[in-house]
Amino acid sequence: MPSRPILRIAVPAPLYTCFDYLPPEGVDAATLSPGIRLHLPFGRGERIGVLVEKVSSSTVDAASLKPATAVLDHQPLLADQDLQLLLWAASYYQHPPGEVIAAALPVRLRRGEEQMKLAQPGWRLTPRGEAVQPTHAPRQLQIIQTLIEHPDGITQQALYTLCGSCRPILRALEGKGWVVPCELEPQQIPPTPEGPRLALNPAQRAAIATVSSSLQGFSAFLLNGVTGSGKTEVYLGLIEAALAAGRQVLVLVPEIALTPQLMQRFQSRIRSPIALLHSGLSEQKREQGWLAASRGEAAVVLGTRSAIFTPLPQLGLIIIDEEHDLSFKQQDGFRYSARDLAVVRAQRQGFPVLLGSATPSLESLHNVATGRYQGVDLPERAGGAKPPRIDLLDIRSAPLNGGLSPALLERLKTELTAGNQVLLFLNRRGYAPVVTCHHCGWLSECPRCDARMTLHLRTQLLWCHHCGHQRRLYRECPKCSSSDLRPLGQGTERLEEVLAEQFPNHPIARIDRDSTRKKGALERLLDAIHDGHYRILLGTQMLAKGHHFPDVTLVGILDMDQGLFSADYRAAERMAQMVEQVAGRAGRASKPGRVLIQTRHPDHPLLQTLIHQGYNAFAQVCLDERRQAALPPFSYQALLRAEATSSEKPVYFLEEAARQAAHFNTQGVELWGPVPAPMERRAGRIRAHLLIQASHRRTLHQLLRQLIPSLGKLKSARHVRWSIDVDPQEML
Ligand code: ADP
Ligand code: ZN
Ligand code: ZN
C-alpha cells in the first residue's frame, strides 16, 4: 500500500522550517494543490497554513503526524512560482518561511476568511433617468450623459474620473429615482479617458526599443535618466508593449501616496485595468486588487514595496521607479529588498526587469559596470528643458536668519519679485531639533533614547522622532527652573515662520509629515501649488519625490553637510541622491532653474565633484572608495542586531553568536564587533550589533544558513530581541 501523502505546510511561526501534516480526515490528498490554505492544529492552538508541497515521507515519525483540520480553498491562492519565490526570499533573508508566506497574503485571507467577491460599487440609470429631459443643471446633465454612454453601469471610481467627485449630486439624483447604485465586475470597468501622448525623443525611443526587443527572456536594465528626462514616458511605452504581447506588468514606486500625479498619469494612459496596491488603501481595496491581479484580471499592478509578492500569472515585465530609494528595503521584521527581489523574480520566471532612477544606487551602477545589468541612458531633459545650474553658498561666516544666509535671501527676493516660484529644502520637520536652557545648558533629551526631542511649536510638544515619545512643552527649565528656554537650530516650522516675516505678501506651502497628516491634505497642497496659489514652497524630502513644479526657478538647499561626515559609509551617496533629486525640481519646463546649496564645507572634494561633474561622476568616485575599503558592492554584508533593557545582554548574546559562528566554516568571512549601535539607547532599549562580511555572497550565505537557525537555542538569546538583516542599508 502506498504511504499516505504528507502535506508540507508553511505555518506562521518563528521557526525556520515548514511543518508536516496529514490531509484532513476523509479528504483525498490528490485533490489538494500547493498554494491552498488549511486550518491546522498547532501547539496548543490553531493556525492557518499554506500548502507548499506534497511529499511521500517525513522526518517526523508517522504516529505523531497530525491531520489538518480543514481545507479553506478549492483554488490555490499562490501559484507554484509564487511559493518558490517566497521560499527563496525566506531562505535568502533568513526569515521563517511560514511568516514570509503569511505576510504575502491579504490580511483577511491570512486570518482564514473567505476570498472576497470582486464586484465594485457603481451606478446606472433607471428607466425614469433615461427619460429625463435635458433641462437640468450642467453637472447633473454631465453625469446623466455619462451614464447613458454606459448602459450597463459604470464604477464609481470611473465615474469620478470622468465627472469629478460628485457624491452629493449622485445622492440627489438617486433621491429623484433617476440613478441607482449597482455592483459591477472589474472587467466591466470602462477605461478612463486617454491622456495626452507626447512625441517621444530619440533617447526615449531607443530606450523603449532596447527593452521591448528583449521581452522574451530575462535581462536586467538600468534606466539612468536625469530628472525630467521622461522616464515615465519610457515606462508607459514599455507597459504598452508588454500588454500588447499579452503579459501583465508590475510597477513598483517608493510611495504612491506621495506621488498622486504619477498615479493619474498611469490611469489616464493605460487602457487596461490597473490594480493599485499600497498601504494607503483600505484592506478591502487591497484584497480586491490582489485578487484581480492573481486571477489575471488586472493587467497592471502599481504598488509599493510589498506588491513585489503579488501573484501575477502572466507577468512579463517589472519596472522599479526610483530604484535607489530606501523604501524598497523593509527595515523591520522580514527585511527584504523589493528591488533586489524584482531582479530575482524576473530571472527565475524569464522576463525583463527595468530599474529606473536619476540617481541610481551604487549597487546598480556597479552591476552595469560588471555587465550583469544593461545600461540605458536618458542623458538630457525632455521637451527642451534645461538642466538646473548648481552653485555652493559658503555660509561659514554668514549671519543666518532662520537658517537662511543673506545671499540666499537676496536670491529669493529677486525670484519672487519676478513672479517665480521658489522651493526651499530642509530635511527636518518641527520647529527646532532641540530646546536648551540658556541659564544652565539643559537640553531637551529624550528619556528613552540617545537623542534630542524636537520642538513642535504649533502643537506645543516636545517630540522624539526616534521613538515617538511626546510631552508638553516645559514652561521652565526642569533642571534649574529658569524660564529662559530657547529653541536651537531650524526645522521646517521655524523656516516657515521666518519666511512669513521676510515675505509677508507671498503665500507659503509647507510640505512635511506634519502638514500633510490629514487624508487628502497633500493632494490639496500639490493642486494649489500647480494652480499657482503658492509662491514659496518649503519642505522635507517629501518635496523631493518625483513631483514636477514647472514654475520653480530657484531651489535652496539649507543644510546637507551632515551627509559629508557621517559614520555611515552610505551617507554621502544618500546626500548626493537627495541634492540631485531636490535640484531636479527646478526649471522643468521653459524656465531655466538655479540651485543654491548652503554649506560650511564648500571645498569638500565630494561636493565639488557632485556639482561640477554631476551624479554619475560622483558615484564613480564613491565606488572607487568602496572598492578600496572592500565595502559593498565589493563585499557582502549581514548585520546581526540585538537589543535588551539592560546594557550587557545584547553584547553578551552577540559574543555568544560570534563564538557559535566559529563552529561553522567561517573561511572568507569577517566578523566585526559586537559594537554598540550608533544610537545605543532607543525607546528604552540598549542596542548592539555584529557585522558579518564576506567577499563572496555564497560564503556569507553558507554561514548564515547554519548560524541563524542555531541562534534561537543559545541561552543568551532568551534575554534579548535579535534580528538578522541581510544586505543592510542602514547601520542604525
Ligand atoms: P522623469 O520621471 O524622468 O523625471 P517624466 O517622465 O516625469 O521625467 O517627464 C518630465 C517632464 O517632461 C514631464 O512634464 C513630461 O510630460 C515631459 N516629457 C516627457 N517626455 C517628453 C517628450 N518626449 N516631449 C516633451 N515633453 C516630454
Ligand atoms: Zn536650566
Ligand atoms: Zn526617543
Residue-wise pLDDT tens digits, 399-412: 998 899 999 999 99
- The least confident of 72-76, 94-98, 141-145, 706-710 is 141-145
Q: Which atom of ligand 1 is nearest to the CA of 228?
A: 4
Nearest alpha-carbon partner for 467 in 445, 496, 487, 485: 445
257 lines ligand 1 (CB under 6 A): no
H or E stretch covering 630: none
Local confidence band at 139 (pLDDT 50, 70, 90 cut-offs): confident
Region 683-701 average pLDDT: 96
CA-nearest residue for atom 10, ligand 1, is 228
232 lines ligand 1 (CB under 6 A): yes
Tens of pLDDT, residue by residue over 404-448, are 999 999 999 999 999 899 999 999 999 999 999 999 999 999 999
Distance between CA atoms of 677 and 685, rounded to whole angstroms?
11
CA-nearest residue for atom 4, ligand 1, is 228
**Pairing mode of beta strands 248-252, 300-303:** parallel
Handedness of CA 262, 255, 638, 704 (dihedral sign): negative
321 lines ligand 1 (CB under 6 A): no
Hey, what's the cell of 465?
522622532
**Pairing mode of beta strands 485-488, 434-437:** antiparallel
Hey, what's the cell of 181?
447604485
Detail the DSSP E strand segments found in 283-366. Answer: 300-303, 315-321, 353-357
Contacts of residue 250, defined as CB under 8 A and 6 or more positions apart, other chains included, come to 300, 301, 303, 307, 308, 310, 312, 315, 317, 318, 319, 342
Q: How far is the CA of 486 from the centre of ligand 2 (A)?
A: 10
Q: How far is the CA of 3 from the centre of ligand 1 (A)?
A: 63
pLDDT at 188: 44
Q: Please list the residues that pair with 179 across neighbouring strands.
A: 125
Distance between CA atoms of 29 and 36, rounded to whole angstroms?
12
548 lines ligand 1 (CB under 6 A): yes
Q: How far is the CA of 563 from the centre of ligand 3 (A)?
A: 22
pLDDT at 192: 55
H or E stretch covering 505: none
224 lines ligand 1 (CB under 6 A): no
225 lines ligand 1 (CB under 6 A): yes
Tens of pLDDT, residue by residue over 358-395, are 999 999 999 999 999 999 999 988 887 788 889 999 99
Q: Assign domain 385-430+491-628 to its CATH architecture.
A: 3-Layer(aba) Sandwich (3.40)
Q: How far is the CA of 433 from the centre of ligand 3 (A)?
A: 13
5 lines ligand 1 (CB under 6 A): no
| Pocket-testing residue among 205, 232, 386, ligand 1, by greatest number of atoms within 8 A of Cβ | 232
pLDDT at 196: 67
Region 302-320 average pLDDT: 96
Tens of pLDDT, residue by residue over 542-593, are 888 778 888 899 999 998 888 888 888 999 999 999 999 998 888 766 777 8
Region 149-161 average pLDDT: 81
Distance between CA atoms of 97 and 20, rounded to whole angstroms?
14
- Among all ligands shown, which has an atom nearest to the Cα of 438? 2
Hey, what's the cell of 250?
508590475
Contacts of residue 31, defined as CB under 8 A and 6 or more positions apart, other chains included, come to none
Q: Assign domain 202-380 to its CATH architecture.
A: 3-Layer(aba) Sandwich (3.40)
pLDDT at 281: 85
Q: What angle do CA 86, 34, 296 make, to 5 degrees?
A: 75
CA-nearest residue for atom 26, ligand 1, is 383
Percent of the chain with pLDDT over 90: 70
Helix, strand, coil share (%) of the chain residues, nearest 5: 35, 25, 40
636-726 homologous superfamily = Ribosomal protein S10 (3.30.70.600)
Residue 1 has pLDDT above 50, yes or no: no
Cβ neighbours around 323 below 10 Å, total: 27
Torsion of CA 561, 565, 568, 570, to 10 degrees: 60
233 lines ligand 1 (CB under 6 A): yes
The residue written with cell numbers 518641527 in the block is 430
Distance between CA atoms of 14 and 99, rounded to whole angstroms?
7
Local confidence band at 4 (pLDDT 50, 70, 90 cut-offs): low
Cβ neighbours around 568 below 10 Å, total: 14
Distance between CA atoms of 359 and 615, rounded to whole angstroms?
7
Distance between CA atoms of 266 and 38, rounded to whole angstroms?
38
The residue written with cell numbers 564648500 in the block is 602
Nearest alpha-carbon partner for 25 in 73, 72, 67: 67
588 and 385 Cβ atoms separated by less than 8 Å: yes
Query: Greatest CA span in the chain, whole angstroms?
Result: 91
Nearest alpha-carbon partner for 290 in 540, 302, 45: 302
Q: How far is CA 285 from CA 68, 117, 237, in A?
A: 31, 11, 27
Distance between CA atoms of 9 and 18, rounded to whole angstroms?
5
556 and 410 Cβ atoms separated by less than 8 Å: no
Distance between CA atoms of 14 and 95, rounded to whole angstroms?
8
Q: How far is the CA of 677 from the centre of ligand 3 (A)?
A: 15
| Pocket-testing residue among 201, 208, 233, 585, ligand 1, by greatest number of atoms within 8 A of Cβ | 233
683 lines ligand 1 (CB under 6 A): no
Residue 465 has pLDDT above 50, yes or no: yes
383 lines ligand 1 (CB under 6 A): yes
SS3 465: coil
Region 27-33 average pLDDT: 92
According to CATH, the topology of domain 6-110 is GIY-YIG endonuclease (3.40.1440)
* Residues, CB within 5 angstroms of ligand 3 (ion): 446, 448-449, 464, 466-467, 469
Cα 566–chain centre separation: 24
Distance between CA atoms of 645 and 641, rounded to whole angstroms?
14
pLDDT at 176: 87
Distance between CA atoms of 360 and 357, rounded to whole angstroms?
5
In one letter, which amino acid is 590? S
Q: How far is the CA of 452 from the centre of ligand 2 (A)?
A: 16
